[in-house]
Amino acid sequence: MIEIGSEFWELPMKAEPDPALFPADTKWYLSGRAALNAILGDILAKRTCRTAALPSWCCDSMIKPFADHGLDIRFYPVYRDESGRLVQSLHEAEDCDLVLVLDYFGFHTEQDTSALRGIVIRDLTHAFFSGIPEDADYYFGSTRKWTGIWSGGYAWAKDGILPDAKPVNELHPYIAARKAAILQKKKYIEHPEGNDKKFLKLFGYAEEWLDENTELFGAAGRDISAIRSLDTDLIRRKRRENAAFLLEKLGQYSFVQTLGERDCPLFVPVFLDPALRSALRKHLIGKQIYCPVHWPVSEYHRLTPQTQTLYDTELSIICDQRYDLSDMQRICDEIVSFITSYKGA
């Protein structure tokens, strides 16, 4: 394949929908961000909340909804300890009214939320295919990180029904942009010699639209039907096979070395010296291997030297269902060769 990574263009589906994939009372939204806004709106309409605890390692799109609702945001530390293990200091969130929790990259971690006195909101975006803990009051996420969907934010509450969103159709500016971008990306993958990368501007426009609009829109009807019919067996099998291969070669750089029985990875994260990470990422782009970092630091983040390190060192290695083991070998060959020969700036 000409390139590895970047935005999806495919949508693996099976013939019949799986009625057990999502709870019956799931509400569908334009994005995961919109789903989180729906949850916060529902909570604040019912009770007074002043403080929200968020993990220090998160995307600004997860922070902004809490800020927009006027909540006092407090970050509980997420970091790697001396052994390289990922630590989430939830005990520092015990006194907050709301607490956001998540498992990173689809790798299951033991999180004891029993001491939290506040309302627990679980972000399932990274871990939906790894099993859902029954420890939260609200759940939400996005399927766009997993496959070629136009919209596809979802949410549900343990007790109660979340608000409906405004219906949309394929002419909605966000959906129209993503639909066109995915179609163009598909053409490029199938016939790269006859097509350029204009789809990147369309994907960028869609993200800008999300950043600028907070109105509560729903997901496209086509997406809701498609998500319920996702070939989850294929997604899990391919991602687990690919991730296991990557961890065998690169596990020394990650916070996990082997897959758990429940794990279905979104990416395989590795952690490298900042200069090495920057140089390696540039090298991989030159080889048309596009590995993102999680996440850029924004005006909403408040970090300490300890929690800043994850942002400076993490690189997310592609392992998704579009690719097979020969692609994983290509990735590993490039990474290992570059690290071995790297001599610094």
pLDDT at position 1:
62
Question: What's the pLDDT at 237?
Answer: 97
The pLDDT tens digits of the residues spanning 217-230 come to 999 999 999 999 99
Q: Is the pTM of this model over 0.75?
A: yes
| Topology of domain 27-157, CATH | Aspartate Aminotransferase; domain 2 (3.40.640)
- The token pair at 70 is 């006027």
With H, G, I as helix, E, B as strand and everything else as coil, classify residue 41: helix
Q: Given 1.10.8.50, 3.40.1110.10, 3.90.1150.10, 3.40.140.10, which CATH number is that of 230-339? A: 3.90.1150.10
pLDDT at 161: 87
State the CB neighbour count (10 A cutoff) for residue 117. 11
* Residues in the chain with pLDDT values less than 50: none
Q: Please report, for the chain, the start and end positions of each structural domain, with discontinuous segments joined by +.
A: 27-157, 173-214, 230-339
Cβ neighbours, 10 Å, residue 43: 21
DSSP 199-236: HHHHHHHHHHHHHH----B---HHHHHHHHTB-HHHHH
Half-sphere exposure of 150 (CA within 13 A, CB side): 24
- C-alpha 240 chain-centroid distance: 17
User: What are the residues whose beta carbons fall under 8 Å from the beta carbon of 83, sequence distance 6 or more?
Assistant: none
Is the distance from CB of 210 to CB of 182 less than 8 angstroms? Answer: no
Q: What is the pLDDT of residue 109?
A: 82
